[in-house]
Amino acid sequence: MDLYVYYRVQAADAAVFLTKITELQDNLTREYGVRSALKRRPEEMDGLHTWMEVYLEVAEDFEATLELAVASSDLPSMIVGKRHVEHFLDLTLCA
């Protein structure tokens, strides 16, 4: 299963947020062996950027691990609104 997590961050906080989310993803990769990616929409809307974390081929219980890692970081104070989590299955594995 793949996880896609999206949310908004103040554009003015982008550089600091990038450092912190990259550190979090690097730690998760080191500790759990997950492959991750980080994306951001190019445009700014109302002073906000939309960011997306991607975690590929994770175990079913990884979402709880991720939420705990985020909650114990400085990231929630920089996120505007909720983090939205979407789950996707690789169709080649479902056939």
In the chain the domains, ranked by start, together with CATH numbers, are 2-94 (3.30.70.100)
* Rounded Cα distance, 29 and 23, in Å: 10
**pLDDT at residue 94 above 70?**
no
Q: pLDDT tens digit string along 53-89?
A: 999 999 989 999 999 999 999 999 999 999 999 999 8
Half-sphere exposure of 49 toward its Cβ, with a 13 Å CA cutoff? Answer: 18
